[in-house]
Every structure is written in structure tokens, then in C-alpha cells.
Amino acid sequence: MFSSRLTEAGVVPERIDTPAQARAVIEADGAAVVGGIHTEEQALDFASKVLGDKLVRLGRQFEASMRNHEREAAVVDAQPVDGRGRKRSFGNPGERMTAHNDGFAFGDYAPDYLFLWCKRPAESGGDSFLIDAWKLSELLAADPATADLAEFCRSVDIDHSEPNFPQGTYSPIVRTVASGRVQARYHPYLAPVPGSTRPEDAEMIGRWSDTVLHVRDNGPMFRAGAGDMICVDNYRLLHGRDGYTDPARELYSIWGWTTDAVAVPANQLDIVVPDLAALAG
């Protein structure tokens, strides 16, 4: 049974025009959307102005298209089940995506900002959703029935790695990082720390997962049109999209790291083979 208030964590981004407006709205709501972006150069230029003086690293991460998905998903499908029975999958584009922070496989090296540039939307389907996971943890904390889950999310270290790609570090689901930014995370492979003797941890992670999926399926959705770019605080918000089948859909994901990030990778990250050993450089 979920409190009806939880869907208040769903975010429909406010439409803005300038990088300064984007910065202010992202700070307040976690995301904003700008239109009129028709080339990758324009997308990178706007994103770099949003991040301003704090920018450390910015670049196109990947192309979310049917063609690219099929190529990468085949490599991931061939990767083995891990020792705890976890198996990576990039999912089926025809189904609603699980909510996630981008770059979750990379732990502390995940980008703190994300720009989703829609070059061409799907003819139908593919609508977007955003969830303010930090606000969601606050809503859980405010309800006596779920305050224990909020406390778990804030205080118990868990394993944020993907199957077969250990991060070597453990941290809570919700935390405030050294720069003062809040970080609240979800992806489908969250697990107790390896060797944990606390069975309640797996149960709590399951409750967090159920809560996030409840908000995904009962909160607002919105549609990004051609030339729209959704600018996201990737530490605080989860994102995803509804299923689509249109092979002409083109969306580009741009990752940005600022001086607020916990860690910045030396090289471009590979989500197909997220090998953390290559990151520190």
C-alpha cells in the first residue's frame, strides 16, 4: 500500500530559454527543458553554458536508437550471470524502461548532470518520466509507515555495482556528497554488500525498488519533441521512457561532470563493458 503523496516526486520539467534559467530551475526542481536544439554542437554548447564555471568534463555518451540498442544489447546479453544470480540486460525498447540515474554502473564516477537531447521523437510512445528520488526519500521519511525505509536509504551501505563489474566501494542509497549536493540512486541491480549477514537489507532494497516503480507507473509522463533537450541533475533525479517501436527515434545522451561530482573519469565511459579499473587514469 503506497501513500498517494509519493507521486509528488514525479517531475514534469519546466520549459526554459536560457542557460541561466536552466541552472536556476534545475537547482529548484532537479530538471528543466529547452527547445530549439537541432545539432549536437548546439546541444553541447547549451549544456556547457548551463554548467558554466563548474564544468570539468562534458561529452556525448550514447545514441539511444533502435539500431544502437540492438548492437549493444547483444553484447550485454552474452555476459554471464554473476555469483549472486544477477544478470545484466539493456531491456526491450518496446517496454517501459526501469527508472535509473545514468552511469549507475560507475558508482562515484557517474556524471552529476545529464542532458537528453531529442533529435527525433518516436512517432508514438517513448514518452519520458523523471522522478526526484531525493524528494521521494523525504516523502517516505515524513510518513510513519515508511520512515524506516527512508532511514535505511540514508544510513545503510549497499552495493551499487552491476553484475560482474564490482565498484569496490559501498554507500547508502541517499547521501549528501562532499560538495553538498544530494544524491539519491536507483537501478535494477542494487544489492546488499557482498557477504552481508543482514537479511533485512535485501527486503529494504526490494521496498525501495517497489516504491520507485510505483511512482514511475503512477506519476506524470511528458513528451520531448524534436529539438528539445531535458537538462537533469543526475545525482538527484531518476529518468526513463515509455516503450517505443519507431526505428527512426533518435535521442542522444550527454553526460556532464562538474566540480560538485564525487569523482571524474579520465576517459570516456563504456556502458557496455563498465570496467572501473580503466577510470582513474
Cβ at position 104, least distance to Fe ion in Å:
9
Size of the site for Fe ion (CB under 5 A): 1
x-or-dash string of contact with Fe ion, 86-125, rule CB under 5 A:
----------------x-----------------------
Task: Say if residues 2 and 211 touch (Cβ distance below 8 Å).
Answer: yes
Residues 6+ apart with CB under 8 A from 108: 167, 169, 262, 263
For Fe ion, the closer CB: 42 or 98: 98
Cβ at position 101, least distance to Fe ion in Å:
8
For Fe ion, the closer CB: 102 or 132: 102
Residue nearest Fe ion (C-beta atom): 102
Task: Say if residues 139 and 3 touch (Cβ distance below 8 Å).
Answer: yes
Cβ at position 151, least distance to Fe ion in Å:
28
Cβ at position 200, least distance to Fe ion in Å:
30
Task: Say if residues 140 and 151 touch (Cβ distance below 8 Å).
Answer: no
**How far apart are alpha carbons 222 and 201 in whole angstroms?**
34
Cβ at position 123, least distance to Fe ion in Å:
21
Question: For the residues of 162-195, what is the DSSP string, one character each?
Answer: BTTB--S--B-SEEE-TTS-EEE---TT-BPPTT
For Fe ion, the closer CB: 102 or 201: 102
Cβ at position 81, least distance to Fe ion in Å:
23
Tell which positions 56-75 bind Fe ion, by CB under 5 A. Answer: none
Residues 6+ apart with CB under 8 A from 29: 11, 13, 14, 132
Please name the amino acid found at residue 272: V
For Fe ion, the closer CB: 251 or 261: 251
Tell which positions 163-222 bind Fe ion, by CB under 5 A. Answer: none
Alpha helices in 92-157 (DSSP H): 133-142, 147-155
For Fe ion, the closer CB: 99 or 174: 99
**How far apart are alpha carbons 164 and 110 in whole angstroms?**
18
For Fe ion, the closer CB: 102 or 108: 102
Judged by the rule CB under 5 A, the positions of this chain that interact with Fe ion are 102
